[in-house]
Amino acid sequence: MKKLFLKTTLYIVLVLISLEGIVRVFHLAKDNPARYIDKHKVEKWVPNQEGYSVTGNRRQNFSKFYINNSGYNSYREFTPSKEKTEIALVGDSFIEGFHQHYYNSIGKKIENRLEGVEVYEYGYAGYDLADQLHLIWAYKDQFDLIDHVVLGFKFENDLTRDEYHVVKDRMQLESPLYKNLRRIKLLVYAQNIGILDPVRNVISRILMLGKKSNNTKKVATQKEIEEKQLKYLENFKSLIDIYGFDKARFVFLLDSNKTPGVFLDYLDHSGLKYIDTYHELSKSKTPTTLIYDRHWNNHGRNIIASLIVENYKLKD
Amino acid sequence: MVFNSIEFFIFLFIVFVLYWTLFKTHVKVQNVFLVIVSYIFYGWWDWRFLSLILLSTTVDYFTGIMIDSNTKPSRRKLWLWVSVFFNVGLLGFFKYFNFFIDSWLDMVSLLGYNIKSTWTLKIILPVGISFYTFQTMSYSFDIYYNKLKPTKDYLSFAAFVSFFPQLVAGPIERASNLLSQIINRRVFSYDQVVGGLKLILWGLFKKIVIADALAPIVDDIFANYSSYPASTLVLGVTLFSFQVYGDFSGYSDIAIGTAKLFGIELRSNFKFPNFSRNVAEYWQRWHVSLSTWFRHYVYIPLGGSRVSKLKSVRNIIIIFLVSGFWHGANWTFIFWGAFHAMAYIPVFLMGRNTMYKHNVVGEHRLFPSLIEIGQLILTFSIITFSRIFFRSESITDAFAFIKIICSNFSYEVYHHPMGYRMIDYYILIALFVLYEYRIRKDERSPFKFKSKIIRFIVYTIVVLGMLLFYDSHIDRSFIYFQF
């Protein structure tokens, strides 16, 4: 028995070391840039990092990212001025665009369509409307110089809070434990492809033993849905009150099919503009998203870029 | 608790350690422990099914004793029929009841009578019922044919029926092999356990990398066959051949490997059927435990091949139809069985049904001869064609599938439904076939390399394959669990 356990353990360790080497050599796992909270309490990436974003097993999607001086994934530095024309894209991972080469981003596609315009992409995975408006408010001097601001918006995710505060859960990913774990590329790969999910589920089930399970998914009633929508609408009003909103320059980028009518009506009545992505994306005959996640693929990004350009031209 | 789940491996580790530390002292202690853990394993699906297995154990334990204790042939036969009726009745009720009702109603409606079905029941098929009922029946048959003495030890018999590694999908063991090991104390053997671990690793590879990776492609092609060109349908059924082989032989390898961890040797269930040179050889290599069961308990009692050619042909047709029906209550399986009978009979009539029994393709050579390659391709094509019936949802679908292939052959590049590169799968299959050819002489030693370094590299590649082809979004259940 002793010999069995010793030899099996030795083999397992050696195989894992070999696999770690293979994962590194073939770059199967994604690189995780470091994040931090800046002096304005804005969460962003540590400036001047680069690496590769990898999605799916067998490196199905592989792209380089570059974090600029401002802490966002972009090929250009953000230097707004009165003399130039700039567009800012503010949003979550869809704007951040780790799943594309940073020279092939939505911003770059817009620049290719609008001569002389610089596009600044303030994208960061997990940013909700509170993050976005707080960023604009915190960097007011910069944003006041930007001519047009597009805010990526998802009703379901972006209005869960009525005021900005640092998301501590996300910052825990920067703890020494997580940082060290991320250095093990095999672990990062295993986590990305979901092979660790069953292990995690078993652990959580063991931890839940004896406790009352809340696993049964409750279907929300119409009343509950309406109440939630009203609550989100109140949060929206609160965020606008606290951080301000320039109706002349700011425009939302949203999917009307995933946004409740009550909210769209409010935007219309309040004179708040939005670009609707639904019709153009849904009528596309070729897929607009990646294989493994719902982020826009190159074709999807082209459509979004065209919509933003169209909207910008209308403004003029 | 399926073999490819994390729960199973936690369970296996705990059971293995306890078995060889606290419960190794005496055979009775070992068997009590085996019965308890096997019942836990089986009850994990649905604890209510435990009553069935307990009932089946008890009935066959007593019928075995009664067959043996009676000297009068008619009495012995009577007790044998008790066992057969009970087991077939159990199987018939849970597996075939609705099929017979529906078929009867269909027949009546053909005669112009429309009867509203109120008899079909909402029955859950107890997992593994087709396997353990056949195993317990073989015990009664062996006693009846004086090949075995019944055990008086109920506990050992319960361990034989419920032995968890082979409980839910075989291999269907015969008491002469498994029970004889269970009634003796097992002693820890390092080599045996290592052999078991290697088989488990190889079985997992076949399941995760071959079967599970191909499943979305096969599912897509069979679900949407009417919108695909013939070339895609051929691809779909060819990949299904590899999928079902990887799935079931992978399961069997894990079962045999797990049994080895407990000091028990189960019989081989798959002997590289893809390297069969004719359909008869295929049936000596595919699901061996079931085909030998039918040979011993159906074909030979009917006279086997010792009767006239005509009767032998009749016997062949019977066992293939029964074998098809064993797989499921659907006409597709009966057609599948009939097709195999039609493919087997010419081989039998030419007297070539046993010519490859004791050798493998490319025996004493590195590569197969051109004739052998031709034989392999032909046999594989016949078997693959039969799988159209096996995989289709209904007999109408199966014939429509065949019609598209035969009547309007056209070619189009197929794209993976989830967008993966198809070339990865073609390379994977090619490497898998080459590797299996390399190890074709011994199905129980998938990593037989003299050099430790080469063995280590192969282990690493096998685990890497699992990491590269693992997909968290797909259904990971075993195909043969539905039978």
Question: Which among A7, A197, A202 has CB closest to B472?
Answer: A197
Nearest to A11 by CA among B431, B201, B443: B201
Neighbours of B219 (CB within 10 A): 17
What pairs with residue A64 in β-bridges?
A52
CA-nearest of B262, B231, B239 to B387 is: B239
Please give the average per-residue pLDDT across B429-437, as a whole number.
95
Q: Using one digit for the tens of pLDDT, what is the confidence trace for A178-187?
A: 888 989 999 9
Chain A residue with Cα closest to B7? A202
Spatial separation of the C-alpha atoms in residues A96 and A301, rounded to whole Å: 12
Give residue A303's pLDDT: 95
Distance, first Cα to last Cα, chain B: 17
Among A51-65, A202-216, A293-307, B120-134, the range scoring the smallest mean pLDDT is: A202-216
B11 Cα to chain A: minimum distance (Å): 12
Residue A36 pLDDT grade (very low, low, confident, very high; cuts 50, 70, 90): very high
Give the model confidence (pLDDT) of B260-290 as tens digits: 999 999 999 999 999 999 999 999 999 999 9
B252: Cβ contacts below 8 Å, ≥ 6 apart: B169, B170, B171, B203, B268, B269, B270
The pLDDT of residue B482: 64
Indicate the residue type of B331. W
Query: Taking CB atoms and an 8 Å limit, are B460 and A15 in contact across chains?
Result: yes
| A305 within 8 A of A113, measured Cβ to Cβ | yes
Whether residue A249 contacts residue A315, with contact meaning beta carbons closer than 8 Å, is answered with no
In which band, very low, low, confident or very high, does the pLDDT at B83 lie, cut at 50, 70 and 90?
A: very high
pLDDT at position B288, please?
93
For residues B241-261, average pLDDT:
95
Is B80 a residue whose pLDDT tops 90?
yes
Q: Give me the residue label for tokens 């008890």.
A: B58
Told to judge if B287 belongs to the known catalytic residues of this protein, a careful annotator would answer: no
pLDDT averaged over chain B? 89
- Per-residue pLDDT, A232: 93
In tens, the pLDDT along A274-296 reads 999 999 999 988 888 887 778 89
Written as six digits, the tokens of A265 are: 């009506």
Q: What is the pLDDT of residue B281?
A: 94
Strands A61-67 and A85-91: unpaired
> Could you tell me which of B126, B190, B128, B200 has the C-alpha nearest to residue B161?
B128
CA distance B266 to A289: 49
Find the distance separating the first CA and the last CA of chain A, reported in whole Å. 79
pLDDT of residue B119: 59
How high does pLDDT run on average in chain A? 90
Say which of B190, B194, B460 has its CB closest to residue A18: B460
**Other beta carbons within 10 Å of A270:** 13
Q: Residue B466 has what pLDDT?
A: 92
Copy the structure tokens of residue B468.
């590269």
Q: What mean pLDDT is predicted for residues B128-155?
A: 90
Q: Of B193, B466, B205, B188, which Cα lies nearest the Cα of A8?
A: B193
Report chain A residues whose CB lies below 8 A from the CB of B421. 58, 60
Residue the block writes with tokens 């190159």: A298
One-letter amino acid of B165: P
The residue whose two tokens read 């269909």 is B106
DSSP per position, B96-147: IHHHHHHHHHHHHHHTT-----------PPPTTHHHHHHHHHHHHHHHHTTS
- Which single residue is written with the structure tokens 């993966």? B420
- Bridging pattern class, strands A85-91 and A49-55: unpaired
What residues does A62 pair with on adjacent strands? A54
The pLDDT of residue B462 is: 95
Q: Which of B26, B327, B364, B416 is catalytic?
A: B327
Q: What is the pLDDT of residue A259?
A: 93
> Do B260 and B186 form a contact (C-beta atoms < 8 A)?
no
Which pLDDT score, from 0 to 100, does residue A196 have?
A: 86
What are the residue ranges spanned by the domains of chain B? Answer: 6-188, 191-277+356-482
Q: How would DSSP label each residue in A53-116?
A: EEETGGGSEEEEEEE-TTSSB-SS-----SSSEEEEEEESHHHH-TTS-GGGSHHHHHHHHSTT
The strand order across the sheet containing A250-254 reads A117-123, A85-91, A148-152, A250-254, A273-276
Please, which pLDDT band fits residue B150 given cuts at 50, 70 and 90?
very high
Nearest by Cα to B156 from B278, B61, B230, B243:
B61
**Which pLDDT does position A2 carry in this prediction?**
87
Taking residues B324-352, report their average pLDDT: 90
ipTM: 0.81
What span, in angstroms and rounded, lies between the C-alpha atoms of B91 and A195?
A: 37
- Beta-strand pair A85-91/A148-152: parallel
pLDDT digits (tens, 9 = 90+) for A196-236: 888 888 888 888 776 665 555 677 788 888 889 999 999 99
pTM of the full structure = 0.85
pLDDT band at A170 (very low <50, low <70, confident <90, very high): confident
**pLDDT score recorded for residue A57:** 82
In the numeric block, the tokens 């390379």 are attached to B427
Q: Which chain A residue has its CA at the smallest distance from B460's CA? A: A15
Cβ contact A57–B468 (<8 Å): yes
pLDDT of B473 reads 77
Q: Is the CB of B418 inside 8 Å of chain A's CB atoms? A: yes
The pLDDT score that the predictor gives to residue A316 is 60
Give percent of chain B above pLDDT 90. 61
Q: How far is B10 from chain A (nearest CA, A)?
A: 10
- Tell me the nearest-neighbour CA distance from B418 into chain A, angstroms: 6
φ, ψ of residue A46 to 5 degrees: the values are -65, 125
Residue that wins the pLDDT comparison between B288 and B417: B288
**CB-CB under 8 Å, B467 with A193:** yes
Q: Which domains does chain A have, with CATH numbers?
A: 72-164+225-315 (3.40.50.1110)
Convert the pLDDT of each residue in B17-50 to its tens digit: 999 998 888 889 999 999 999 999 998 888 888 8
Which residue reads 């301000």 in tokens?
A: A244
Q: What is the pLDDT of residues B284-320, one digit of tens each?
A: 999 999 999 999 998 998 888 888 889 999 999 999 9
